[in-house]
Amino acid sequence: MFLTLFIVDMKKKLFISHASEDKDDFVRPLAKALSDDFDVWYDEYQLVMGDSLLEKISKGLSTCDFGVVILSQHFFAKKWTQQELNGLFALEERDKKVILPVWKGISNEDVKRYCPILADRVAAKAEDGVDNVVKEIKKAVMFFERGRSVEKPMPGLHRLRMSLQKKTERERSKRIVCSPQGVSIVMNAVKQTIDTLHDQIQSLRGQPSGKGIRIDGPKGNTNEYQIKVWVGQICLKVYYRNNVINSAMDAQIEFFIFHSKINSWGRISQSNDRESYSPHIDLNDNVLWRSKGGQLLSFVELVDKWLEKFSKRIEKR
């Protein structure tokens, strides 16, 4: 399990991702020290029973200016911390967000094995003490904010840079998706998406209100992967298919909600909420899901969107 800090200033916001094992000896003191200069949003004080962790993470990621990532052996061992890091990478490339790494009890070789992209970035070190880490974070924020202020008078140049970056990313995505490497990257993203949905639903089954929930899956193979979540006769199904061995160009993940019932002609299914998404691989090999309208969604945003739709369908019955 891990916990997240979300620090807010009038001009900038920091999303701090860390493993819960690092909280007592470093992260909590770091948050306290940062509170001298920032208005600190802290999960231990702000989250209440019934809050959606996925929703909080999704909102925090989408609104942050900078992501401070406390890299440690505990961080490397957890699935959700990797998902948060992937989300920060996606935001950094799409909206020019900046990841600020802090190493805690690890070496450059450890970071290379876990995330080679971050190994080349200058990082603060927890071993230097909380005060020095705070100074490094302030220095980095000031540096990047200064760079942004220089660009503000030239919005046309900024737009050109973003357009060229997106063009490069689209061309690379098409090339990678059409390769065996792309098949592997997309399949891992599919499992991450469907397994996240499963974990979110599974967390409700131990509660009194979740006794009527049924989960079928996840199950499948390299060509297809799916899960069904039932509440009564209403089902949320997620289904991935790829009929080509060495390419994911035609691969799609489909979300749809249907109502299954029996009448005089037998069992029928009614569905009017259905959408397919194709994979888009960004410059850091993270997969974003593209809707037919062209919108790019992270796996967190996609799962959250369909949990919301599923909830509304249940409320109508």
Active site residues: 84
Q: Which residues contact 207 (CB under 8 A, 6 or more apart)?
A: none
The DSSP code sequence of 218-285 is: EEE-SSEEEEEEEETTEEEEEEEE---SS--TT-EEEEEEEEEEEETTEEEEEEEEEEEEEEEE-TTS
Q: Which amino acid is it at 66?
A: F
Is the Cα dihedral 69, 121, 157, 138 positive or negative? positive
The answer to whether the CB of 264 falls within 8 A of the CB of 163 is no
What distance in Å separates the CA atoms of residue 105 and residue 220, rounded to the nearest whole number?
39
Task: Tell me how far CA of residue 95 lies from CA of 66, 160, 165, in angstroms.
Answer: 11, 14, 11
Instruction: Spell out the long-range contacts of 204-213 with Cβ–Cβ below 8 A and sequence spacing 24 or more.
Output: none
- How far separated are the first and last CA of the chain, in Å rounded? 35
